Structure formats: structure tokens, C-alpha cells
Amino acid sequence: MLLFMIYSRIYALFHSIDEKKVLFLSESHAVLDGNLKAVYDALSGEYEKKVYVKADRRQKGNFSKIDLWKDCTTAGYIMLDDFFGLTSAMRLRKGQELVQLWHGSGAFKKFGFSRINTGDRIKNVNTGYRKYTKAAVTSEAARPCFAEAFDIPADRVQAVGSPRTDMFFDEKKIYEARNRVYDSYPELKDKKIILIAPTYRGRKVEDACYDFERLGLERIIESLDDSYHIVTKWHPALYNNIRIGKCKLPDLTSENLKNRITDVSAYGDINDVLTISDILVTDYSSVIFDYFLLDRPVIYFIYDKDEYSRSRGLYFDFKDYIYGETASDSDELLAAIKAENMHNELRKNFNEKFLKACDGNSTSRVVKWVFEGDRKQ
């Protein structure tokens, strides 16, 4: 970080800001996807667009560090979808915009500066959050949550929507997304898909873990007919720890399981996977917000609700997030899968509170707000 700070300050003496250069940065995705890709695709050819992404912030990126330093020093716009480590050492120059699009909708579990007073007793929050000049959220109710998390003035946070959700309002894009998944995983076609996509447990992403045994995957498979297929999509932080052996999955290679469970964690955008899913099983993950837009059953598998709410902290009462069945053990989970209840009476309030700005036009609003609005002085 110190080397970057020195290099950037010297480089800035001889190179001005390029208002037509846009960087897209991520340390949690191996490819450009989600909100970043939606904005990337929407920008006209007059902009020079440069991408620096890697799947895990602990790993070396497949790009030149010096090129990244140069571009961070001279780009007019720097677009993020999560925390990016280099921003903590970055000194924004006059006219630069550091824009946080975030990787999920709504406002669920606390993060950033919001976690200082939670049971996790987080003390050291990265100051890079405070440098955001703009942050996009999906509703007015989410604005104060993100302003607190980033420790920035509320007027920098605007309910302009989540670009990645626009696809759910376009039948052609849904069809294309489904086919992309089927091309990668042909065994999923013509199956009834139960998507299991919980968030991780742990104080930091580096400590990400999950109690997989609680799901009772083998029992669920044995209790459902062959038309059902389980798909798992682990949180990127959890998947990274699985890959390096820090977190161990249960053995899913038995004859009963291997042909009826498919892990798609290596697949890029989870929203593609949502389009093929008939039932979502999750917990405190922001995936509930995007999945809501498909109008399909969701099950909250919350075996540790009280402990999680106390230690991690939620922005609102947990009941405000519920628009489906809840389960606290594998028996209740299996019953909820079989029931497939929609709970339509809960859906209207959920939409009003968390997704009001998601209407199929989020990308155009974000582009106008960021690239056609007033620039930071």
C-alpha cells in the first residue's frame, strides 16, 4: 500500500485525470459480472473501459499491478461492486469519482462501520469506505443503512436501483440467462431446481465457514423424486475457503448424491442461476432481494437466527425480510420444500421497503446519475 501511495503521488504530478477513462474493479469475482457488467455494457464507445478483477483478494490478480496503479491515479471514474483493498490507500484527485454499486440489493446484514457496535465487536473498519463519492442502493429505506456502513453523508447515497436486476424485467434476457446456465450444466435442464445459496458464517471473509451438515442434503435427496435436482452456489468468500481447504464440504460423492447435486459456485453471476431455480433456500443473504423479482418460493434456513442477529446485526427486524417459509432444522426444511408456499400477503410490503427502485430501468438511471450528473469537486 505504501508503495502505491508513493507511486501514485509521483505519477499524478505528470499525468492529468482522463474524464473518459472508467475502471471496473472487483476482488470477489473472477470475471466481470453483476452490476459492474451491466454498467460496462451500457456505456457508449466514447469511454475507455478497463477491467481489473480477481476472485479472491488474497490472491494475485491476472493483471499488471503497475497498470492498475497508473489507471487508479488517472481514471475519471472508478466503479466498484464491493470493498476493494487499494481504495484504503487511494487519495482521490479533484474530479475523480469513486462509485460503489455494491453486489447485492436491499439492506440486510450489517457491514462496514455499521458493525462497530454489534456483538462481533469489529473495531478496525477499512477507511476506504469513506472515500466513496457515490453509492447506489435499491430503496429509500436502504439509504441511511449504506450511509452508516460507509460512514459517508446520506446525499452521496441514492436510491437509483441495482443494474443487475434489470434482466428480471426482460423475458428475452431471462431466456438467454437460462440457456447460459444449461450450456454450462446440461444435467440441470428439465429438472425442478432447488437452489441452496446461504451466506457465510465468520467475523471476516477470510474466516468464512458454514455448518453444511445441518442442511441434511442426503436426506432431502432421498425424500424427493428424481424430478428434483439440488444446486449449490456458495458465497464467494465461502467458496474461496472451500477451494483452499480452509472449509470442508461434506462428502457428496455417494451414488445417492453425485447425480442429483450440482455445485455451480464456479459459475459467474448468481442471477443467471436464479432464473433456472424453482425454489431458493437461503438465510441472511441479499440473494432474497433479486430472487423476489422472479416471484417464486423462498425458504429461509435460519438455524442460528438469534445468535446471528446478535453477533452480526441486521439493519431491520428479521420479520421485515420474510416473504417465504422459515426452517430451523432439516425436518422443517424438507417440509417447506414440499409445501412450496408463496406467502403473497408479505410480498407487497417487502417490495415497497427494499426494492422500490428496481423496475427494469436501474442501469439507465445509474449511468445518468454517475456520468451525466455533477462531478465531485
pLDDT reading at 36 higher than 50: yes
Nearest to 334, CA basis, from 196, 209, 211, 149: 196
Cβ–Cβ < 8 Å for 158, 369 = yes
When the candidates are 1.10.10.10, 3.30.365.10, 3.40.50.12580, 3.10.20.740, the CATH number that belongs to 167-354 is 3.40.50.12580
| Interatomic CA distance for residues 106 and 198, integer angstroms | 16
Crossing angle for the helix pair 2-14 and 65-74, to the nearest 10 degrees: 50
What integer pLDDT is reported at residue 309 of this predicted model?
87
- Summarised one tens digit per residue, pLDDT across range 190-246 is 999 999 999 999 888 889 999 999 999 989 999 999 999 999 999 989 999 999 999
Stretch 99-123: mean pLDDT:
84
What integer pLDDT is reported at residue 30 of this predicted model?
83
| Interatomic CA distance for residues 160 and 146, integer angstroms | 13
Domain ranges of the chain: 2-162+359-371, 167-354
Q: Assess whether the region 2-162+359-371 and the region 167-354 belong to the same CATH fold.
A: yes
Exposure letters 3-27 (e unless 16+ CB within 10 A, then b)? ebeebbeeeeeeeebeeebbbbbbb
| Interatomic CA distance for residues 155 and 22, integer angstroms | 23
pLDDT reading at 377 higher than 50: no
| Interatomic CA distance for residues 214 and 255, integer angstroms | 20
- Summarised one tens digit per residue, pLDDT across range 325-347 is 999 999 999 999 999 888 888 89
Cβ–Cβ < 8 Å for 110, 314 = yes
pLDDT reading at 60 higher than 80: no
- Maximum CA extent, the chain: 67
Question: Looking at domain 2-162+359-371, does it have CATH number 2.60.40.1930?
Answer: no
pLDDT reading at 118 higher than 80: no
